[in-house]
Structure 1
């Protein structure tokens, strides 16, 4: 949702005068606290953590120029879908997304969304799908920058030997997600 600030009836407004409004709410799930934020285009953040304050600070850091408005009603449907997904990953998680990142990050995130529930890939495999010139470390950095946990399933990326690698939201959460998806 974009809100345009009108000053003294000026005939034209610059891009800098447009304010990005993000509506958000936090809920308890089996994985801990989950904060969902959405713009007029779709969900732009699903953050997982231990406290609502930690998640609110993370959201503010990720979107420093946005006006953040707490509104459980605005994201209630999204929260319901995320809770259902966590409980039963076989249903999938279908949300309209507002992916904000560099072109390379968005390309990695699109490829992540194509990995089916119950399957994992290595950083090397994912980098080869993206481009013969993509480096696995660059792919790992794009995964780490992902602000839309679960809907962009970076938890499905593992080391080449199958071991779990870093996960922005915690390795134990990654382990739980992969196990649940494997059983789905």
Structure 2
């Protein structure tokens, strides 16, 4: 008998508990906190927490903590540490399968961007995602924005609407749900069309983000080196921050030079959750 499907509604509901635990584990994994400790933090029984965490992350809590240890040990050995010094519990890689994401990057002219959306008609709606409630903005050519409803749906939509103040907006939650399923449930092997409205510089940076593999990270300086010069890190940071399409254009994979999770428009806790989700499936 096949296991029950884990729906987007369930994943969105579980997201707050899981992210709180991921933050704690990120600070304390070297102590190998046990299942009871993590379950208490989540406010669930150990059995229920094990099920919730494993379904959302794709790994059990123990395997996820061992994956963090494995990555740290691998880096230590690459830096010259002995096997003894970098020892870790091996053989606990994630069971999740990897989905390649194919994106057709469709941009518009600078003139379209300067018109602030005049003449454009968007449909927008709210739908569950793996990372909490999502707000989708859809143009005739494709997806123009994917944000998260933080702190609430109205604020998230206002943030997107302000990008195109002269455009027409029609609410369509059913269409948003179709896009949520297409992105998070069954991406298949067809490109996901994006209708991006931004300056040439922004689109250049966004293209560089698309080149970062799932499960990998880079820095603002590294992106700047690819698109222009290392001295452009601050300008790159501004373009990354202006990215309207979370997850698909993976600005969550860009870290500060010191490796810290900083500068994510939709919250550091969500950035941590996204990286953990991808790492577990790498």
Paired residue secondary structure (1:26): strand
Deviations 1:118-171 (A, max 9, x none): 000011111101112651111110011111111111000001221112100000
What is the aligned partner in structure 2 of residue 55 from structure 1? 156
What is the alpha-carbon root mean square deviation over aligned residues? 2.4
What is the aligned partner in structure 2 of residue 77 from structure 1? 178
- 1:59 deviates by 2.0
Which sections of structure 1, spanning at least 5 residues, go unmatched? Answer: 1-14
Q: Is the CA contact 1:81–1:93 (under 8 Å) kept in the aligned structure 2?
A: no
Q: TM-score, normalised by structure 1?
A: 0.81
What is the aligned partner in structure 2 of residue 179 from structure 1? 276
Instruction: Spell out the pairing of 1:31-180 with structure 2 (5 A cutoff).
Output: 31-50=131-150, 51-84=152-185, 94-132=191-229, 135-180=232-277
1:22 lines up with 2:122 in the alignment = yes
Q: Is the CA contact 1:46–1:147 (under 8 Å) kept in the aligned structure 2?
A: yes
Q: TM-score, normalised by structure 2?
A: 0.54
User: Which has more radius of gyration?
Assistant: 2
How far apart in 1 are the matches of 2:146 and 2:165? Answer: 16
How far apart in 1 are the matches of 2:136 and 2:154? Answer: 13
Q: Is the CA contact 1:94–1:151 (under 8 Å) kept in the aligned structure 2?
A: no
How far apart in 1 are the matches of 2:125 and 2:215? Answer: 28
Instruction: From the superposition, tell whether residues 157 and 93 of structure 1 become closer, same or farther in structure 2 (CA, over 3 Å).
Output: farther
How far apart in 2 are the matches of 1:107 and 1:93? Answer: 23
Instruction: From the superposition, tell whether residues 92 and 111 of structure 1 become closer, same or farther in structure 2 (CA, over 3 Å).
Output: farther
- 1:34 deviates by 0.5
What is the number of equivalent residue pairs in this alignment?
A: 165
Q: Is the CA contact 1:23–1:39 (under 8 Å) kept in the aligned structure 2?
A: yes
**Structure 1 or 2: more helix by fraction:** 2
Deviations 1:52-80 (A, max 9, x none): 11222112212211101011333333111
Paired residue secondary structure (1:77): helix
What is the aligned partner in structure 2 of residue 11 from structure 1? none
Which sections of structure 2, spanning at least 5 residues, go unmatched? Answer: 1-114
Q: Is the CA contact 2:205–2:239 (under 8 Å) kept in the aligned structure 1?
A: yes
